[in-house]
Structure 1
Amino acid sequence: MTLLHPGARLVDAATGAVVTPQVTDALADAPPGVAFLRMPTTVDAVGRYVDAFESGRPVLLLDPSLPADAFVDRFEPAVVAGPLPDEVPKGYRRDGDRWVRESAPAVAHPDLGILLATSGSTGNPKLVRLSRAAILANTASIVEALGITGDDVAISSLPFYYSFGMSVLNTHLAAGATLVVEADGLLGRPFWPAVNTFGVTSLALVPSQYEILRRLRFDPAGFPTLRTLTQAGGRLRPELVEDFHGRMSAVSGRLFVMYGQTEAAPRLTTLPAGRLGEKLGSVGPAVPGGRLSVRLDDGTESTAPDVRGEVLYRGPNVMLGYAETATDLARGDDQGGLLETGDLGHLDADGYLYIDGRLKRFGKVFGVRLNLDDIEGMLPGPAAAVAGDDKIVVFVAQDGGDPARLRQDLADQVQLHWSGFEVREIAALPLLSNGKVDYRALEAAR
């Protein structure tokens, strides 16, 4: 399997041009090593990515809003391609729309395929090292789990440098499907007309985007070809799962709830749309080829129902490991196919996974340890909880309810005094570029 099926098509939403990606090995004249690709939402950027990957060159997919040389000094790439500023970093020369390293670049392991920054990273993030085999394995699993065919048409609702957006791109290229490349995004004026103009059949969204659709009173009946919604990138509130399941069912459509991590290339589970009603709250079983278990405090593992512990995943899509310096790029497989997710969860009798929170997402109130994800789930609308000094600070979007009443409700539910909670109303929850809540910004503001 490769990422590029001969039937795959890209559509430039701005011009209507249809492009068949080609493999030309355009970077063949650059030194061997990793290529840093700045990934704006354009057909050209997708073409560069496909060409580099299919030619066997490992690539780092970069957020184009970051400084172009943000990772260059640390990871010593052979070449940096894409829209670049005028100033060239030390040790590189400009060659058209790319920078080429003048001295020997970092050595990359032969299995290395794609590098992605860890989710939510700022400052000096680690890179996730994904092998080509891991990318192809997860791509094949998702094509099978979602039943993607050459008749499907997706649209770029997520950035390509974000692991979920990359996965949508990969799966549709590999299945010989079509991807509409629309740069303005969900709230841009051209986006929804493009859905109808180009007959989009599926839409991939993260929880914050489902919140937006709810406020926009999204009605799938207005988009006759759109019959599949997929969700990953964090926990979607159960009431929204029910809501959008109902909206899609009303037009004979489907909603797939999934769970993923960048470290798994990136999708671990898929909840079959036909079982969503009976498995509300679950993220589904492992994708084809994967296995789930939970690890208890004593280090033992279990697949028994209703046993809570750290979620473990084993499969061919697990990363090789992390990279923090250039020398790490030459490392082999540090994981052995095992991913310790850092999430708390449990399985049911059918092997369906339920995520219960994060291992490190805890705060203390009067000496009592509370799961911050549980606290968020107790509130009626979008909320984000962070740990304060012997209290929990909860941020709610405007019109999310009276802060004093919400504080008392939280205290009542956990049976602690209300003074252990602080509820602040803000205009909107701050989001990272991948649509997840920016907890670091909230922690700085607490």
Structure 2
Amino acid sequence: MTLLAPGARLVDAESGTVLDGAALMTEVERQADALAALPDGVLFARTAVDSASVLRYLAAVEASRAVALIDPKLDVPLLTMLMERYRPAAVLDAPAAEPPAGYRAADGHWLRLDPDGIRPHPDLAVLLPTSGSTGNPKLVRLSRKAILTNAHAIADVLGIDEREVAPTTLPLHYAYGLSVLNSHLISGATVVVERDGILGRGFWDTVAAHECTSVAGVPYHYEMLRKLKFDPAANPGVHTLTQAGGRMRPELVAEFDTLMRSAGGRLFVMYGQTEAAPRMSIMPWDRLAEKIGSVGPALPGGRFAVRRADGGDTTHPKITGEIIYRGPNVMMGYAENAAQLALGDECDGVLPTGDIGYLDEEGFLFITGRLKRIGKVFGNRINLDDLEHATRATGLGIDIVAAVPADDKVVLYAEGATAETCKAASQALSDRLHLHASGFDVRPIDTIPLLASGKIDYQTLADGI
């Protein structure tokens, strides 16, 4: 099995270069031969949104070399720390700096001097970080089977075929961005490598010029598109929008669903985690309006259950608990050092997601929060996701908000809000939850910081308190 179907095309929007068919496969095989000759060990690939990074990734998969996709913005000290922990055979597209001890620079890469290294498990294909460019550096171990079966399942449900053209809208070292690439190339479709992303100045010009048919985004992208008064009629070739990367507020889902339907298009709301390679469910677009808030049924080959308070799992409708997913796309496990790269499958296809939710009578999943997104206000436990939703529901015009715990209160950052609006929001939350307003410290902020994935960077906000 391969990630490249015969008709797959890769288009570089900046240079206009097109690689397709035999030419694309020939280039991937040429690079695969070079990677196969490197010493044993995982490969670190600094993966930008460019054609060179895409080709390196495809070559690593083709050569059956386990590859960790690394944010190219990762600073050298943190990259060095990861290298000490995992002892990669090489750092591809290395920084313009002196390599650390035990490595030498060659042809733009850092190569390990010691030819002996820990050989990764033969099933291991891709490693992705669990937390952006900062925080816990452990890696998610994804097998070749997980990557390929998930790409096929996504393509099947979304109806991706050789006629589809998708621009890159997200980092390729982020699971959602990588899954867009995988699901299109494995279907013989076209991927347009566009460096600036949805909010870039020339993005929609690229979409029009290359006749793109779909666009993928995270909730923040849709919040910004709403502010920019996105009009699907202005982009008639785009018949599909997809959303993942966190729970999007139901009002925004309904708004974009109506927008797309009015233009003859469709919106797919999806649910996934890096640990599931990454998609677990896709909401059928034609049922979205009747089930706003749902992320749909499990993808083909997968299934959901809910873990009850007594520890048992159930598929009985309306019972709320931790969501458990089972499927062939579940990770092999985590790796926190080089030795763990050689381990086999430790998960047996079972993933406790850490998300809280319930199933309805048809098996459609509704997510209501996170197990660990909890704060305390005067000793009272409060779900931070629910608190963000309550802030948006105050009617004060706060659409983009991020809540972080702080001692015995919660700090909420409201993007673009005034001091007066923040004070009113604190009081509104106090009235709703019957706790003193001082427990809800709502602060104005020009722009909420984001990770490269487009998700809110809660750690940076917490560090700034």
Query: Is the TM-score greater than 0.5?
Result: yes
Q: Select the residue among 459, 462, 465 that pairs with 1:440.
A: 459
Q: Deviations over 1:356-394 (max 9, x none)?
A: 111011112232211111001112211111112221211
The reply on whether 1:81 has 2:92 as its aligned counterpart is: yes
Map 1:61-80 to 2 at 5 A: 61-67=69-75, 69-70=79-80, 71-80=82-91
The reply on whether 1:295 has 2:303 as its aligned counterpart is: no
Native 8 Å contact 1:8 1:177 kept in 2: yes
Q: What one-letter code is carried by the residue in structure 2 that aligns with 1:413?
A: R
Shift of 1:83: 4.9
Shift of 1:86: 3.7
Map 1:18-29 to 2 at 5 A: 18-20=18-20, 21-22=24-25, 23-24=29-30, 25=32, 26-29=34-37
Q: Deviations over 1:149-192 (max 9, x none)?
A: 11000001101010000000001110000000011222322211
Equivalent in the alignment of 2:298: 286
For residues 43 and 310 of structure 2, the distance between their equivalents in structure 1, rounded to whole angstroms, comes to 43
Q: What one-letter code is carried by the residue in structure 1 that aligns with 2:414?
A: V
Q: Select the residue among 223, 239, 247 that pairs with 2:251.
A: 239
Map 1:396-435 to 2 at 5 A: 396-399=414-417, 402-435=421-454
For residues 75 and 113 of structure 2, the distance between their equivalents in structure 1, rounded to whole angstroms, comes to 20
For residues 169 and 17 of structure 1, the distance between their equivalents in structure 2, rounded to whole angstroms, comes to 17
| More off after superposition, 405-414 vs 221-230 | 405-414
For residues 266 and 82 of structure 1, the distance between their equivalents in structure 2, rounded to whole angstroms, comes to 25
| More off after superposition, 320-329 vs 112-121 | 112-121
Equivalent in the alignment of 1:378: 390
For residues 402 and 383 of structure 1, the distance between their equivalents in structure 2, rounded to whole angstroms, comes to 13
Q: Which runs of 5+ in 1 are unaligned?
A: none
% identical aligned pairs: 53
Map 1:335-354 to 2 at 5 A: 335-354=347-366
Q: Deviations over 1:306-342 (max 9, x none)?
A: 1000010000000011011111101111111110111
Shift of 1:294: 0.8
Q: Which runs of 5+ in 2 are unaligned?
A: 393-398
Shift of 1:105: 2.3
Native 8 Å contact 1:10 1:18 kept in 2: yes
Equivalent in the alignment of 2:56: 48
Map 1:300-315 to 2 at 5 A: 300-315=312-327
Equivalent in the alignment of 1:10: 10
The Cα RMSD (Å) is 1.4
Q: What one-letter code is carried by the residue in structure 1 that aligns with 2:104?
A: R
Q: How many matched pairs?
A: 446
Shift of 1:19: 1.1
The reply on whether 1:94 has 2:94 as its aligned counterpart is: no
Q: Select the residue among 378, 390, 405 that pairs with 1:387.
A: 405
Shift of 1:65: 0.8
Q: Deviations over 1:68-99 (max 9, x none)?
A: 54421110111221253141221122221222
For residues 375 and 391 of structure 2, the distance between their equivalents in structure 1, rounded to whole angstroms, comes to 17
Q: What one-letter code is carried by the residue in structure 2 that aligns with 1:34?
A: V
TM-score by length of 1: 0.97
Equivalent in the alignment of 2:38: 30
Equivalent in the alignment of 2:267: 255
Q: Deviations over 1:192-245 (max 9, x none)?
A: 110000000000101111111111111111112111000000111111101111
Shift of 1:50: 0.6
Equivalent in the alignment of 1:212: 224
For residues 293 and 309 of structure 1, the distance between their equivalents in structure 2, rounded to whole angstroms, comes to 9
The reply on whether 1:179 has 2:191 as its aligned counterpart is: yes
Q: What one-letter code is carried by the residue in structure 2 that aligns with 1:333?
A: D
Equivalent in the alignment of 1:330: 342
Shift of 1:407: 1.1
For residues 100 and 124 of structure 1, the distance between their equivalents in structure 2, rounded to whole angstroms, comes to 25
Native 8 Å contact 2:45 2:93 kept in 1: yes
For residues 195 and 399 of structure 1, the distance between their equivalents in structure 2, rounded to whole angstroms, comes to 32
For residues 299 and 133 of structure 2, the distance between their equivalents in structure 1, rounded to whole angstroms, comes to 26
Native 8 Å contact 2:121 2:342 kept in 1: yes
3-state secondary structure, aligned to 1:378: helix
**Distance 1:86-1:442 versus aligned 2 partners, 3 A rule:** closer
Q: Which has the higher helix share?
A: 2
For residues 84 and 395 of structure 1, the distance between their equivalents in structure 2, rounded to whole angstroms, comes to 34
Native 8 Å contact 1:293 1:311 kept in 2: yes
Q: Select the residue among 359, 375, 378 that pairs with 1:363.
A: 375
Native 8 Å contact 1:75 1:106 kept in 2: no
Q: Deviations over 1:48-76 (max 9, x none)?
A: 11111012111111111113544211101
For residues 404 and 201 of structure 2, the distance between their equivalents in structure 1, rounded to whole angstroms, comes to 35
Shift of 1:121: 5.8
| More off after superposition, 50-59 vs 26-35 | 26-35
For residues 274 and 287 of structure 2, the distance between their equivalents in structure 1, rounded to whole angstroms, comes to 26
Shift of 1:123: 4.2
Q: Deviations over 1:262-317 (max 9, x none)?
A: 00001111001011000100111111111101101210111111100001000000
Equivalent in the alignment of 2:174: 162
Q: What one-letter code is carried by the residue in structure 1 that aligns with 2:455?
A: K
For residues 417 and 136 of structure 2, the distance between their equivalents in structure 1, rounded to whole angstroms, comes to 36
The reply on whether 1:223 has 2:243 as its aligned counterpart is: no
3-state secondary structure, aligned to 2:289: coil
Map 1:142-161 to 2 at 5 A: 142-161=154-173
